[in-house]
């Protein structure tokens, strides 16, 4: 009787919603004028803390930015290494996670190239590009999730196509148990491009139904005030889980300027 009651209790516990963020925060460029990192950093950290994300995939994060974010975020840890040396040099594609809710089981970073286990530039890319991934376990429910976070090259046409297939291959190779998967990133690709269409054939696109005429459609601004454009290049893809809602957020600083040259992408799941 006791066992039956325990099973019934567990069945009646609703799944807690899972909030995921993808956000290119713009690297610490001293030549950004009014939009330098010091003028933006508080707004970005306050946003992440306020929204209480379960997982946050960030892009263009330099080590000094990483240190600041880690210090200011409440209840978060991160997983990832820098792309230039596999340690601290160059940009990270870190995965921040709520350490009170989740345990990091395993993870790694691979390079988007022909030799993904070695620090390298792939195909026709302009520089090193990476994908960081991790397997997490919900401390209460014991439910497991894979999170992948990446930043594709902005020049290499072949590199972007090959990078998409490489990530698909990694997910397929790692996720033998069909855990829920989230793929966050700045893909530097519009949603009608061949690599994105390839990914969409296997994973769900959180904002695929967003109207191109909607002012929330684009994710790239270049710090310009005109936000209505066809530049949707930041994505959250997912599989083996049900999405509740998704959007792009127009986040500004207290100076009424964009918090980054990209908009945050948010998706909520069951």
Digit-by-digit pLDDT tens for the chain (270 residues) are 555 544 444 444 556 899 999 999 999 999 999 999 999 999 999 999 999 999 999 999 999 999 999 999 999 999 999 999 999 999 999 999 999 999 999 999 999 999 999 999 999 999 999 999 999 999 999 999 999 999 999 999 999 999 999 999 999 999 999 999 999 999 999 999 999 999 999 999 999 888 877 877 899 989 987 656 668 999 999 999 999 999 999 999 998 999 999 999 999 999
Q: Parallel, antiparallel, or unpaired for β 76-79 and 243-248?
A: unpaired
Q: How is the beta sheet containing 234-239 ordered, strand by strand?
A: 102-111, 130-138, 144-151, 181-186, 234-239, 204-205
- Among 35, 51, 31, residue whose Cα is nearest residue 258: 35
- Asked whether 125 and 153 are in contact (CB, 8 A), the reply is yes
- Asked whether 16 and 270 are in contact (CB, 8 A), the reply is no
Q: Residues with Cβ < 8 Å from 254, sequence gap 6 or more?
A: 42, 43
Q: What is the pLDDT at residue 128?
A: 99
Domain covering 19-269 in this structure, CATH number: 3.60.10.10
Cα–Cα distance for residue pair 206/200, rounded to 1 Å: 10
Burial class of 259 by CB neighbour count within 10 A (0 to 12, 13 to 18, 19+): buried
Cα–Cα distance for residue pair 70/82, rounded to 1 Å: 15
Q: Where are the domains of the chain?
A: 19-269
Q: Residues with Cβ < 8 Å from 175, sequence gap 6 or more?
A: 146, 181
Q: What is the pLDDT at residue 229?
A: 64
Cα–Cα distance for residue pair 196/205, rounded to 1 Å: 9
3-state secondary structure of 43: helix
């Amino acid at each position: 009787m006791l066992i039956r009651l325990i099973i019934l209790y567990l069945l009646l516990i609703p799944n807690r919603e899972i909030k995921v963020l993808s956000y290119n925060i713009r690297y610490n460029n001293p030549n950004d004028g009014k939009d330098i990192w010091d003028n933006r950093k508080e707004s970005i950290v306050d946003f992440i803390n306020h929204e209480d994300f379960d997982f946050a995939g960030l892009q263009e994060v330099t080590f000094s930015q990483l240190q600041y974010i880690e210090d200011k975020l409440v209840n978060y840890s991160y997983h990832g290494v820098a792309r230039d040396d596999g340690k601290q040099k160059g940009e990270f594609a870190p995965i921040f996670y709520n350490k009170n809710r989740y345990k990091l089981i395993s993870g790694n970073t691979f390079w988007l190239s022909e030799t993904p286990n070695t620090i390298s530039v792939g195909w026709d890319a302009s520089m090193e590009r990476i994908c960081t991934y991790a397997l997490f376990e919900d401390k209460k429910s014991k439910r497991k999730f894979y999170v992948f976070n990446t930043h594709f090259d902005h020049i290499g046409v072949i590199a972007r196509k090959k990078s998409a297939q490489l990530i698909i291959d990694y997910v397929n190779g790692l996720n033998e148990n069909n855990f829920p998967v989230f793929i966050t990133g700045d893909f530097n690709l519009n949603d009608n491009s061949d690599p994105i269409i390839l990914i969409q054939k296997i994973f769900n696109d959180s904002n695929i139904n967003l109207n191109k005429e909607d002012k929330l459609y684009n994710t790239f601004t270049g710090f310009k005030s005109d936000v209505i454009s066809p530049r949707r290049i930041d994505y959250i893809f997912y599989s083996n889980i049900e999405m509740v809602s998704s959007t792009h957020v127009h986040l500004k600083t207290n100076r009424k300027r964009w918090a980054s040259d990209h908009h945050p992408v948010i998706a909520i799941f069951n």
